Structure 1
Amino acid sequence: MTSSSWKRHLRAINSVYSIHKRGRRSMPLILLKDADFRTIDPKHDDPMVVTIKVANFVVIKMLIDQGSFIDILYWKTFKKMALSQDVVEPFNEKIVGFVGERVDTRGYIDLDTKFDKDNDFCKIIRIRYLLVDAETSYNILIGRPILNKLGAIVSTPHLVMKFPLTVEAEVWRS
């Protein structure tokens, strides 16, 4: 990939995801304990896969990807959700996939997404998903933008993601 094509790719992504400068933020303490281990074999390197609720649809097999700088809703999942294509904003740029291949996009959509915590409280965030037409075993890919917005801490040895519930406007009792 040439320098100019990489810059063009970043400008296209930034046109979908607006970047705002923020002041310094603080977070409450988040602890990971032995009781948080979710895997039987601590030497196993499983990906972080969770279930969430998107636009009132339960979506299983959502991949937490700390290396991705975009949040993706795969086209096959979007079609299964039976949402109107009228709410999709146009965006027809290609993105670069995991192994450097160019992948078609179908636009983007803003959807409320519910993250449960301890099956008692949840956090609801509006996420701008890039709709991507690609074959994958996952339905959604969540990257750094939403992990940062959640204030999430991801521990791969524990196979757990924790986030604070301190912003009253975003916290709902289930």
Structure 2
Amino acid sequence: MRGTPQPPRVAVTAEGSIAAKNNTTNSRSKHLPVIFNNQDTTGLNVPRNDPLVITLTIADGEVSRILVDTGRSVDIIFRETLRKMEVDESSIKLERNPLVSFAGDTTVSEGTVKLPVYVGNMRKTVKFTIIDTPTIYNTIFETPWIHSKKAIPSTYHQCIKIPLPDGVCTIKGSQSVSRACFVTERKTREPRGRPDDHDKNLKKKLRRRKKASEKGAEIKHVIIGKRASDPQGEIKIPTEKEEQNTYQTPRTEGPSPPPKQDSTKENPNTAN
């Protein structure tokens, strides 16, 4: 179900150009409590299960594809984003620290950088941890920034609200950008080939195994090796239907041993 078109937001292209204005609104009443209502969901597409991706002014430019997350204890900015923003390398403090994700994966940071972030009429310097890995996001705002601004994010309402001295600032997310990021990230994590290749290969193996088991009922002997004492003899495994020994070898050349006499038969020389 599609909603009404959403207003344009800032888009940082590969050249770092600005395409539209930042989408923030201020409530001018002082000491206004932070409230979410149905008006915040106007124009949103359902279901509203998308991550919250916003646009803000960082340093001298508008930066889009900012993920608002609460899973880490540091605010993250990526090396490629700094390159597009043309941040001076001298402002970067080199320090390597391991970052462990919830899944247990470890990523080593390259350093930290302090950049001003603008929300409404307020300016706050944020310390970002730099990571040099391919990513679909430009920046990830984590709990340090969220708590420092006393901000309240809501993925259901697709916005984050921040109390300011002159009211409440509402920063709306972009569902279209969020969903595009999700699709791109999923493609980058998938193995080469189509997603169903693994299932198809597994089904082929199961079919071959089933055919082999069906043919096994018709095979009388399966050669699995040779005896060390008899290189010409072959060890064979009989089927269940055959009443034979578990291992048997072909008879060797030479006279056959005399048949054993049945002790139960009467001796013809014995007198009655």
| Fold match (TM-score > 0.5) | yes
State the partner residue of 2:226: none
Report the Cα distance in structure 2 between the residues aligned to 1:99 and 1:136, rounded to whole angstroms: 17
For residue 71 of structure 1, report the CA deviation from its aligned partner: 0.1
Q: How does 1:106-121 map to 2 (within 5 A)?
A: 106-115=110-119, 121=120
- Structure with more strand by fraction: 1
Q: How does 1:19-38 map to 2 (within 5 A)?
A: 29-37=33-41
* Residues 71 and 142 in structure 1, CA contact (< 8 A), matched pair in contact too: yes
Aligned residues: CA RMSD: 2.1
Report the Cα distance in structure 2 between the residues aligned to 1:103 and 1:68, rounded to whole angstroms: 12
State the partner residue of 1:127: 126
Alignment deviations for residues 55-111 of structure 1 (CA, whole Å, 9 cap, x no partner) = 111111000002221100111101111111111112112212353222131110111
Stretches of structure 1 lacking an aligned partner (at least 5 in a row) = 1-26, 116-120
State the partner residue of 2:81: 77
Q: How many residues align?
A: 137
Report the Cα distance in structure 2 between the residues aligned to 1:148 and 1:131, rounded to whole angstroms: 20
State the partner residue of 2:154: 155
Alignment deviations for residues 111-150 of structure 1 (CA, whole Å, 9 cap, x no partner) = 10112xxxxx433211000001122110000011111111
Structure number with greater Rg is 2
| Percent sequence identity over aligned pairs | 24
State the partner residue of 2:63: 59
Secondary structure of 2:87's aligned partner: coil
Runs of 4+ in 1 over 3 A off after TM superposition: none
State the partner residue of 2:45: 40
State the partner residue of 2:97: 93
* Residues 151 and 161 in structure 2, CA contact (< 8 A), matched pair in contact too: yes
Report the Cα distance in structure 2 between the residues aligned to 1:76 and 1:97, rounded to whole angstroms: 21
Report the Cα distance in structure 2 between the residues aligned to 1:78 and 1:100, rounded to whole angstroms: 27
State the partner residue of 2:20: none
Report the Cα distance in structure 2 between the residues aligned to 1:135 and 1:122, rounded to whole angstroms: 33
State the partner residue of 1:138: 137
For residue 35 of structure 1, report the CA deviation from its aligned partner: 0.6
Secondary structure of 1:136's aligned partner: coil
The TM-score with structure 2 as length reference comes to: 0.47
* Residues 149 and 163 in structure 2, CA contact (< 8 A), matched pair in contact too: yes
* Residues 104 and 134 in structure 1, CA contact (< 8 A), matched pair in contact too: no
- Matched residue type, 1:85: E
Stretches of structure 2 lacking an aligned partner (at least 5 in a row) = 1-30, 170-272
Secondary structure of 1:47's aligned partner: coil
Report the Cα distance in structure 1 between the residues aligned to 2:101 and 2:83, rounded to whole angstroms: 21
